[in-house]
Structure 1
Amino acid sequence: MNDSELSRPRPVIGLTTYLEQSQTGVWDVPAAFLPQVYFDSVTRAGGIAVLLPPQPASPAIAAGVLDRLDGLIITGGKDVDPARYGQSSHAATDEPRPDRDDWEHELLLEAIARELPFLGICRGAQMLNVVLGGTLHQHLPDVVGHGGYQAGGGVFNAVEVELHPQSQLHGLLDGGTAPLAVPVYHHQSIDRVGERLVVTARSLEGVVQAVELDGVPFGVAVQWHPEQDDADIRLFAGLVDAAAQYRADRQREERS
């Protein structure tokens, strides 16, 4: 990073967090946390990372938070509550987390309304799809006949995906014609695609692996985990660049 890049104001990127029972020292309490690889990816791409814990959600609170941000990442985590897309829970579906679902729902609606750049990762792609009226496959092994998308034990499998050649994702990842190997850890996936979303990547057997929101400068969501590849921060760099432009445009409007 050169001197001019160091002196330029860095865009502020909010990342949603997990709320889990956590132990540290003598304490065993519910706590918000996020694996370091997520916010390291943001800072390495030139952004400032701010963590957004689940909290009481309303349009006004979401707007107040996003007023202070230049970009948003909806991170991975537990399954989205199937009741949000009109289904009963599969036996393999996680216990619902309504606090996080409600919080991310409001953040996404507000981000979309103001065209704030955002990136969805794994659960984040699923949450975006549900917010926009789509549905999910609750247990992929029932659909594809194997568990290759989630090895278990915290082990990320590599799956090959094909990028749509006219997509923003293809441009961000310098995609050619060959499939791209990506790290995955999910047992659910997008089924019916939500309104305004365009599928921009699929696995070789047809599982949706990325969507983009039509008509906004940057609204990208991937089913894989780009934060797990420390040699490739291109998706985070794309978000940070879009957030920097959003910040500059907003400041220009405020001065006019």
Structure 2
Amino acid sequence: MIGLTTYLEQSRTGVWDVPAAFLPRVYFDSVIRAGGIAVLLPPQPADPASVGRVLDGLDGLVVTGGKDVDPARYGQAAHPATDEPRPDRDAWEDELLRQAIARRLPFLGICRGAQLLNVALGGTLHQHLPDVVGHGDYQAGEGVFNTVDVRVEPQSRLHGLFDALAGPHSVPVYHHQSIDALGDGLVVTARTGDGVIQAVELPAVPFGVAVQWHPEQSADDLRLFTGLVQAADRYRTGADHTGRDHTSADHTSHGRREPS
């Protein structure tokens, strides 16, 4: 059972123009094709008890893409190019991630999800990458995904999921922000050639992976989603959902491979 966070935006369909929770189909299709059951998690009051009840029913979590994280969460004023903040979604996903980490619940962060994870753990973001790298190749605009090459760090979980592929590995991107100062406990596991962080992991948990790119856009490559679903299955069968240690089950079956 895999929970996926959703947008909450004004939306039009037929005669209706109302605030609505939604998520592009490619996200939950990827979870389903990888063998999981998808459950959508719209933004709502983020009190710890409610979040705990939600996570009681899940075996894994995907924090999806969307609007920029509120810069106030990492002590900065907003850049002119930064989105209008979505404080309800920020708070909801922050609490989901914090409790998922405490429970050692497997999670995957995608684009905004990677950025929010970093901020939740005390890190900061580059608010507008063109100011840093001098080009806008990471976000072409008009909903068009660019492809960039990333290099994956050896000995990382990502390296194992990609069958010991260090790189270059082509991935679809659509982001104008990225991780700057790293959050507590995170390690960088992939970068592009210009140094932009494209993936991080949290080694303290059995499966805590976050990528800046959009794996749901690669219909023929389910490796990240399959890795999450397999970790969720181990979580479900290896212990209850109250945070009991899952370490032994993970170390024997998580599938990490040494470089060949």
Equivalent of residue 243 in structure 1, options 232, 237, 244 = 232
Partners of 2:165 and 2:41 lie apart in 1 by: 36
Equivalent of residue 46 in structure 1, options 4, 19, 35 = 35
Partners of 1:60 and 1:185 lie apart in 2 by: 34
Do residues 225 (structure 1) and 214 (structure 2) align? yes
Partners of 1:142 and 1:252 lie apart in 2 by: 43
Output the amino acid matched with 1:250: A
Q: Deviations over 1:73-118 (max 9, x none)?
A: 0000000000000000000000000000000010000000000000
2:113 aligned residue: 124
Identity %: 75
2:252 aligned residue: none
**TM-score for the superposition, normalised by structure 2:** 0.91
How far 1:250 sits from its partner (Å)?
A: 2.4
How far 1:214 sits from its partner (Å)?
A: 1.8
1:208 aligned residue: 197
Partners of 1:241 and 1:177 lie apart in 2 by: 22
1:79 aligned residue: 68
Partners of 1:178 and 1:162 lie apart in 2 by: 4
2:52 aligned residue: 63
Query: What are the equivalent positions in structure 2 for 1:1-256 lying under 5 Å apart?
Result: 12-251=1-240
How far 1:25 sits from its partner (Å)?
A: 1.4
Partners of 2:27 and 2:241 lie apart in 1 by: 30
How many residues are paired up?
A: 242
Output the amino acid matched with 2:17: D
Give the 4+ runs in structure 1 shifted more than 4 A: none
Q: Any stretches of 5+ residues in structure 2 without a counterpart?
A: 243-260
Q: Any stretches of 5+ residues in structure 1 without a counterpart?
A: 1-11
Partners of 2:241 and 2:38 lie apart in 1 by: 23
How far 1:58 sits from its partner (Å)?
A: 1.2
